[in-house]
Structure 1
């Protein structure tokens, strides 16, 4: 089965799209004590993406406000904001700059760079393009669902909590994204 190019997708529109934070979700899961997964999200996400007729020149810029972390536990959220993890007083944001899309099976891969705590690493984001749709206010929307995986230690998130010989938090972090954006109107 061949993957369609973006321009073969029904309703495709090239343009610049602004992220709609109220209809987007950037979350993560991480193993806790090996036996379960803790889930969290960031409530502060902003940025834009550019779709072009050529997959290789499509791009995205996303900024995540790390102080908006929400794991539904205030004590844990405070610890995650500390120097043990994100160090938000010094590094208030995580950024992702994607610079090109390529087809991979029935999905796509956004090649990009993630910057966290002043460290930038290449992190590919595998995603589905959910489609294009008019909205009730005369605009046009685009939606994506994506996943990536990072090793927290690659970004100097080196908390070494151990309980009964077991790591409190795993090194592997799974990132999950549901993104909706609005096509910019020409001024």
Structure 2
């Protein structure tokens, strides 16, 4: 076990499946200059592979864009349209990690986000929440992650302005992940 894994109680190398029941993928965007709207993607899947050291780990994930939920169906339908995600042409958003690195006392998951056919580097600030056994004989890991993107980098170009000149929807989008993953039984 490497020095870095010795500092992570319960850390295990292996292949993990994201548990969608105990995870969420959300975003926040400023709306009409005065408030923020939070939305969730209700359908997603992914695999994590933890290496002998955390730096040898990887993540792949798929988010189904038609599962967007901002708690307002009319807005959700608009976001699914060509003004935003164009889900009929681009049904998913994907993330493929390219590396994991320590950043002082924190971790960063480097990777590529693909949305609307455009792939950009999007590092995620990663928090390791813990590793341990569950009540069903399995083994779980928990992670939190955040990133900020400019939606226009991914050709999400809906542009409407208020009479005062502010944007109806800001360009900056904050992504937040709360992930719980289950170690594959063969490796537990």
For the aligned pair, the TM-score class normalised by the smaller chain equals over 0.9
1:115 counterpart residue number: 114
1:79 counterpart residue number: 78
How far apart are 1:7 and its partner, in Å? Answer: 4.3
1:19 counterpart residue number: 18
How far apart are 1:140 and its partner, in Å? Answer: 0.2
In structure 1, C-alpha distance between the alignment counterparts of 2:29 and 2:105, rounded to whole Å: 27
2:168 counterpart residue number: 168
Is 1:179 aligned with 2:160?
no
5+ residue gaps, structure 2, are none
**Is 1:55–1:100's contact at 8 Å kept on the other side of the alignment?**
no
Q: Residue 75 of structure 2 aligns to a residue in which SS? A: helix
How is 1:132-147 mapped onto 2 (pairs within 5 angstroms)?
Answer: 132-147=131-146
TM-score (norm 1): 0.95
In structure 1, C-alpha distance between the alignment counterparts of 2:55 and 2:113, rounded to whole Å: 18
How far apart are 1:6 and its partner, in Å? Answer: 3.5
2:90 counterpart residue number: 91
How far apart are 1:105 and its partner, in Å? Answer: 2.3
1:151 counterpart residue number: 150
User: Runs of 4+ in structure 1 displaced over 4 angstroms?
Assistant: none
In structure 2, C-alpha distance between the alignment counterparts of 1:110 and 1:71, rounded to whole Å: 27
How far apart are 1:57 and its partner, in Å? Answer: 2.2
In structure 2, C-alpha distance between the alignment counterparts of 1:21 and 1:128, rounded to whole Å: 18
String of CA shifts for 1:13-39, please: whole Å, max 9, x gaps.
Answer: 000000000100100000011111100
**Is 1:99–1:112's contact at 8 Å kept on the other side of the alignment?**
yes
String of CA shifts for 1:53-72, please: whole Å, max 9, x gaps.
Answer: 23332100010000000000
